């Protein structure tokens, strides 16, 4: 006769969960600057987004170029530009910046964005390392409790459950939560870095084309 499978409730242990989850959170708080900690958790909201595509922004830049050619570069100040990088570049173009300056601005913003993304990725990569370690800590705590209570058989089962489930929680949290999150954030960040590089040349070209006109208008 086959034995019945254990219920899911038998895999739930608040003490083991508190040790693994609370210990990991405490370790992250102690080793991560507050701004990067908040950024890492806020990045969870981007997990289900599609990878960044620059096509729509390139279309908008082309439209801005036509507006500038027809009505003058100052007219670009009245356009609504949602993307912060394109808006910053267009602002510099209106002020008379050349192609090299616009390119440098966009490169700086891309590097800054990559650093913000890296901070979020590092948080979840660190969590993937800490979860198993906290699982081992929970196992040791459970074993200590078990050996300390050998004279009371009623406490042995609970202590052993903490020891075994803490290791299980740490392994599952690392491999099914933290590592997939870090990998997903890394893919999204890499895609955005590559796509945003496509914006540099069109904006630099627009800046070079409009710079002489800005100088004439200023004179």
Of the candidates 209, 197, 207, the one whose C-alpha atom is nearest the C-alpha of residue 57 is 197
Band (20; pLDDT cuts 50, 70, 90): very high
Q: In whole angstroms, what is the distance from residue 164 CA to residue 11 CA? A: 10
Q: How far apart are CA 140 and CA 23, in angstroms?
A: 14
Quote the DSSP letter at residue 178: I
Q: What is the pLDDT of residue 146?
A: 81
If you average pLDDT over residues 194-201, what whole number do you get? Answer: 96
pLDDT, mean over the chain: 89
Residue pointed to by tokens 């100052």 = 74
* Res. 27 pLDDT band, cuts 50 70 90: very high
Which residue intervals of the chain are DSSP H helices? 14-17, 23-31, 34-42, 55-71, 84-94, 99-148, 153-173, 179-196, 200-218
Say how far apart CA 197 and CA 132 lie, in whole Å. Answer: 38
Tens of pLDDT, residues 126-179: 999 999 999 999 999 988 888 877 777 767 777 788 888 999 999 999 999 999
Q: Of 182, 143, 145, 208, which is closest to residue 46 (Cα–Cα)?
A: 182
């Amino acid at each position: 006769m086959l034995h019945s499978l254990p219920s899911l409730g038998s895999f739930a242990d608040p003490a083991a969960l508190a040790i693994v989850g609370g210990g990991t959170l405490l370790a992250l708080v102690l080793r991560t600057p507050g701004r990067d900690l908040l950024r890492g958790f806020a990045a969870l909201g981007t997990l289900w987004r599609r990878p960044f595509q620059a096509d729509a922004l390139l279309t908008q830049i082309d439209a801005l170029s036509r507006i500038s050619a027809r009505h003058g570069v100052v007219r670009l100040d009245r356009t609504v530009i949602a993307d912060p990088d394109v808006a910053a570049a267009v602002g510099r173009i209106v002020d008379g910046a050349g192609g090299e300056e616009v390119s440098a601005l966009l490169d700086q913003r891309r590097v800054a964005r990559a650093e913000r993304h890296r901070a979020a990725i590092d948080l979840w990569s660190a969590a993937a390392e800490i979860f198993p370690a906290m699982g081992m800590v929970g196992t040791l705590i459970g074993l200590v409790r078990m050996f300390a209570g050998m004279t009371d058989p009623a406490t042995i089962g609970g202590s052993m459950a903490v020891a075994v489930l803490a290791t299980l929680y740490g392994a599952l949290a690392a491999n099914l939560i933290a590592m997939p999150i870090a990998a997903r954030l890394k893919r999204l960040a890499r895609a955005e870095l590559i796509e945003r590089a496509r914006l540099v040349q069109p904006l630099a070209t627009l800046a070079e084309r409009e710079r002489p006109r800005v100088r004439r208008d200023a004179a």
